Every structure is written in C-alpha cells, then in structure tokens.
Chains A and B, each alone.
Chain A
Amino acid sequence: MITFEAVTKRYPGGTVAVDRLSLEVPTGEITVFVGPSGCGKTTSLRMINRMIDPTEGRVLIDGRDVREIDPPTLRRGIGYVIQHGGLFPHRRIVDNIATVPYLLGWDKKKARGRARELMERVGLDGELADRYPFQLSGGQQQRVGVARALAADPPVLLMDEPFSAVDPVVRASLQDELLRLQAELRKTIVFVTHDIDEAIKLGDRVAVLRVGGHLAQHATPPELLAAPADDFVRAFLGRDRGIRLLSFLPARDLLLRRDLIVPEGGRAPEGADWVVVVDEERRPIGWRAAWNGHLTGFGTYRPEHDSLRAALDAALLSPCGAAIAVDDEGRAEGVVTRDVLDVALVRAAADAYSEGGHTGEEAAREAG
C-alpha cells in the first residue's frame, strides 16, 4: 500500500503543485490520478519514487517513509513507464527491457532471458529483440516501456501518461493489454492521465485532482459517475455519465426470451409483432415485422462478457428496441425485450444512487 500523508509540494516562488494530499493506494489495484494540466498529478506520482521530494508530509510504501531510502535503490524496486517511452535509443530492445536487471547486477544471460520472456508477455514479437527503438511503432515502443518497467518484477508500477502519445485505436489495445496483464500480475499501479475515459476504464479507484493540487474526489469509477463530489468533478466527467455508468453493470442477469427466435420461414409466437430470424447455425439474419415480413437490421451483445451498456446499445440498433443475446460463436441465445431492459435500467440507476450515498435532493438535481 502506498500512503500519502498530508503531502504538499511548494516550489520557490510560492507555486503550490500539490496541496495537503492524503490518500491511500491499495496494494494490487490500479489507482488513477486524473485531472487537468497543473493539477499536480505527475508531481504526486513522482513523489512516490523520489523524482521529486515533498515540501511537507510523507509518502509511505508499506508503512516505510520513502525518504529513508536512497533514491536509486528505491527506484530499482519501482517500475516506471513514461509518456514518450523514454527508451534508450542506443540500446537494442532486449537490452532496453533488461535495464533494471543490469542495474541490479544480474548476469547478462539471465537479464536477457527475462527480457525475452517479458516481450512475449506484453505481446511483442521476439524478432524485435535485436532492433533499436526507432525501428518500432509508437505502440510497440510503449509495450517495450511497459516490459522494461516490469523487468525486475517490482511490486509497484508508476505510469505517467503512458498511452497519450499514440493513436486512439492503439491506445485502446494498450489499455486492454494492461488490464489483461494486471489480472495476472496484480501489481500496485499508480497511473496518471488527463483523459477521464482512460481513468474510468483502467482504474479500480480514481483520484480526481483539480488545479492547485487539491484532491477533489477519490472513488471507484461507478461511484464517481453516479455521485460526483462537486461541480468541478461533474464538469470534468463530462456528458453521458448515466450511460457510461452502465459499462460497469453486467448484462448477464437479463432475462432472455427464447421463443422470439425463429428459423427462416418459421412462425412467430402468438401476439409477437417482431421476431428474430436465424439461419441454420442459429446466427441472426434480421428482425421480421409481423405485418409485412420484411427483415431489418439488428444489434447483438454477449451476456457472458458485455455490460448493460452494450445490451442497451444493441437494443437501440433494432427496430423494436429489443437486444439479441448471442454466444461467443455469434449464435442467438435469446432476446431481451424492452420491458426487461427498462426494469434493469431503473434498478441500475437506483443502485448507483444508493451506493454513491446521494441524497434524494441531489438525485433530483441530477435528474434535472
């Protein structure tokens, strides 16, 4: 666990970068520091590995004040990923990754073996091992940066806007990769970003900081979306908070109607205006209207993996507002009708407010 105890960073001239920050970063979780530029998020991050020392207050790792530890020694035990990769241009990829093992005095063979193992782990082709950084794409360089940070298997990982310099598609895949890695490795990760969507996607907990280094709110993403602490956080979270909140709710429990799925030419059940027509493999072909038999487009979601948001999205893509549930092979499992979806959405909203500890008055203001 990393603990900030009333940490203040004041620069000569009086600028306050961080103002009495107190928070706990739980072991084995991703905590995201997010906020606009000038909010002190990077400064806070760097006080953990003593790239910056606080003016007042203490930063503790597992109860030990980091100021008691000599910086190079401290840093060799903390992985660090920087925005532009910070890769050493003159070293081959394998040696870039083995940087900290070399510093720790591992022999070359063991360090390189470890580096190759990590390349595989972060999804890098082993053939890239002997290349130089400039020969890699931005996304690949960031993967190398992550592998390098993990090389000596540090319990703590600091990530300073690591994915902000790559294009959105690559960024999304790097984020997914990080979550996949974290599911295996369970590191204590502090992740800095200015992108609230990234914070909400990656964070087990999110600390929203405002300019001047004040902690505005420290909460889980659903809590944050459901109950922003103040107008600043609300504005920073942006639009569609309700819809985004649905991403955290599983679609697994939605009641499915199987009778609305019919083969081509099959009869619709009594009273059904719309049915899903499927092929021999049970893959959906389209929605069929009872009155003219025409087929129209549809949306699907996977109940085992997707969120309520995906189910709602699938419903909005169909002419009758119902979503088709499919398995991993794309075979239709059933249909979620609008009534079922409505009930689930209402319950989601109610739960969010009770979890977020909102008063009825605030809830009313939210709604308005």
Chain B
Amino acid sequence: MSSSEPLIRWSWIGRNWPMIWDLLVDNAIMALLPALFGLILALPIGLACARWRFLYQPTFGVMNVVYSLPSLAVFIVLIPITGLAERATVIIPLTFYALAVLIPAVVDGLTSVPDHVRQAADAMGFRPLRRLIQVELPIAVPVVLAGLRVATVSSISLVSVGALIGRGGLGGLFITGWQLRFPTPIIVGIVLVVLLAVVADGLLVLAQRLLTPWARARSAG
C-alpha cells in the first residue's frame, strides 16, 4: 500500500456501489439461509434429544466435531458436488455450523421448562403434543432465540471465508483490497459485515421482545 493512498477513497465507493450492494445481499442470503435451515432442522433433532436423552450426548459430540472442521476445507470438499462459486457450497457447511449451536439451544430451552410447570400441564389434562406446542416450546423460545442470535451473527462473518472459493459475499472485497493493495474495499467490507450482523441481531432481539414479553419483563424485574 502506497503511503499516499488515503484510508478511504469515497469516489471508489460511489462508483462501485451497485457491486457492493449485490455482495451485501449475497452475503445476507448466504448467512441467513443457514441460520433458518439450522433452526428448522434443530427443532426436530433437539426435540428428539430432549425426549430421548441418550441421543443427546452422541448428537452433541458429532455436532462438535463438525463445528471443529475448518470451513475452508469443507468448502473445498463440496466444490465437486455443488460447484465452485455456488451459493450452496457456502450454505451447506454454514447450516451445519448453525446446527451445532442450535441443537443444544433447543435442548437447553426445553430443559429450561420448570418441572412444576410440566406437571401442572399434565394435571390440567394436556395431551403430550398439545403440551409440547402450547407449553414447552413457547417457554423454550428465549433460550432458542439466544442460540439463533449467535448462529446468525457467526454465520454472517463466516460467509467471508467463501471468498477464497469465489463466493464470499462481502468477503470478496477483502480479496480485492488485498490484491490491489487498496484499503478502501477492505474497510467497506468490514463495516458492512459488522452492520449486517448488528442489524440482524437487532431484528432478532426485537422479535424476542414481541414473542416473549413475559421473558423480557422477567429479566427486567
């Protein structure tokens, strides 16, 4: 980087805004879909683990191993199957990472239901499915949403790694900046990734407040 180059060159941002916007949208899609898929898959798996406790340790172990796999290695393994620079190549591994966070969140959420509440539901005459839907799942929501916030934010930043295989959303800006010895795209990339994460997290917090007014008030009181 030459010393005469300013840290931010605003004109570059103006000229390249359409491209930056596309990367931002791409990043958001590749980050949020895994969080969504992760949630959809984690619910039945987490329910099964909470119902049959012996499943939990093995499942948790497998998910932990998956979480430890370097993302770049998984992207590369997937390229022959899903293709280079394809969204799916990024989305699939990120879904597994989200699962690794969300399965324990669902299990913890369900175990957070106090025993006396569950017993009271039985004693009132709830059948098991109705008890699950009307009592246990709603009470698990705050814990599950806390997990979803972690999964979503980490997913947003993990997308950047995909840049190394040609599909990294805003991560592409880091590569550009590095190759051209030009800091502006790098700074734009970092700022937008952080902004995206903050906005997504904020929306989830908002959703939590709307969905679980009883939990918000509990922590305030």
Determine if B210 is an interface residue (Cβ-Cβ < 8 Å).
no
Across the interface, do B124 and A76 meet the contact criterion of CB distance under 8 Å? yes
Interface stretch of the complex, out of B15-23, B113-121, B186-194: B113-121
A interface residues, how many (CB within 8 angstroms): 28
Across the interface, do A75 and B123 meet the contact criterion of CB distance under 8 Å? yes
B interface residues, how many (CB within 8 angstroms): 24
A82-B119, A90-B139, A132-B214 in contact; A100/B221 too (CB < 8 A)?
no
The A-contacting residues of B in range 159-179, CB under 8 angstroms, are: none
Across the interface, do B124 and A99 meet the contact criterion of CB distance under 8 Å? yes
- Complex Cα distance, B139 from A86, in Å, reads 13
The B-contacting residues of A in range 77-97, CB under 8 angstroms, are: 80, 82-91
Across the interface, do B135 and A83 meet the contact criterion of CB distance under 8 Å? no
Of B120, B122, B123, B139, which is in contact with the most chain A CB atoms at under 10 Å from its CB? B123
Residue numbers in A under 8 Å from B124 (CB-CB): 75-76, 80, 99-100, 103, 148
- Complex Cα distance, B139 from A109, in Å, reads 24
Residue numbers in A under 8 Å from B123 (CB-CB): 49, 51, 75, 80, 82, 86, 158
CB distance from A154 to the nearest CB of B (A): 10
User: A103 is contacted by which of B114, B119, B126, B212 (Cβ under 8 Å)?
Assistant: B126
User: B217 is contacted by which of A84, A87, A135 (Cβ under 8 Å)?
Assistant: A135
A90-B139, A135-B221 in contact; A73/B125 too (CB < 8 A)?
yes
- Complex Cα distance, B125 from A74, in Å, reads 8
Determine if A11 is an interface residue (Cβ-Cβ < 8 Å).
no
User: A80 is contacted by which of B120, B135, B213, B214 (Cβ under 8 Å)?
Assistant: B120
A88-B135, A89-B139, A90-B212 in contact; A75/B122 too (CB < 8 A)?
yes
Of B119, B138, B213, which is in contact with the most chain A CB atoms at under 10 Å from its CB? B119
Across the interface, do A132 and B213 meet the contact criterion of CB distance under 8 Å? yes
Binding site for A on B (CB under 8 A): 114, 116-117, 119-127, 130, 135, 138-139, 141, 212-215, 217-218, 221
Q: List 10 A-B contacts (CB under 8 A).
A: A51-B122, A72-B127, A75-B123, A76-B124, A80-B123, A83-B116, A85-B116, A90-B141, A103-B126, A135-B221
6 further A-B contacts with Cβ under 8 Å, apart from A132-B213, A134-B214, A148-B124, are A75-B125, A84-B116, A90-B138, A132-B214, A134-B221, A135-B217
Q: Which 9 A-B pairs have the closest CB atoms?
A: A86-B120, A76-B125, A75-B125, A80-B123, A132-B214, A72-B125, A86-B116, A90-B138, A84-B116
